[in-house]
Amino acid sequence: MDRKDCIFCRIADRDIPSPLLYDDEYVCAFRDLNPKAPTHILIIPKKHVASLAELEEEDFELVARIARVAKQLAEEEGIAEKGYRLLSNCRADAGQEVPHLHFHLLGGRRLSDIC
């Protein structure tokens, strides 16, 4: 996919302005437009990978990087102690809307209604 046709590539490329809570060579993070919890952050690889199902061997390191960023952001957001959820919807049955791999970092309330 052309990076111009992917909304999350465009955010990563700073083509669409969205304040970044985290930014390095491989990963960035920004707030979800439609928050489902007091803290709802999306963490993405800058490389275009459509979903978990499209990860290639050389991409798995990106998932570890994302887990590290999630831990850091949870601490910065003050949700680490009470707990949080990190999840990625993969393809249609999971309700994936944006076809660029992303992890939702959710916290700040009880999340029992989200499986």
Residues that bind ligand AMP (CB under 6 A): 7, 18, 30, 32-34, 42, 89, 95-98
Q: Which of 40, 48, 100, 102 is catalytic?
A: 102
Between CA 52 and CA 89 the distance in angstroms is 8
To ligand AMP, the closest distance from the beta carbon of 10 in angstroms equals 8
**20-29 burial, b if ≥16 CB within 10 A, otherwise e?**
ebbeeeebbb
To ligand AMP, the closest distance from the beta carbon of 7 in angstroms equals 5
Is 102 marked active-site? yes
- The alpha-helical segments, DSSP class H, found in 1-115 are 7-12, 60-77
The residues that are catalytic are 102
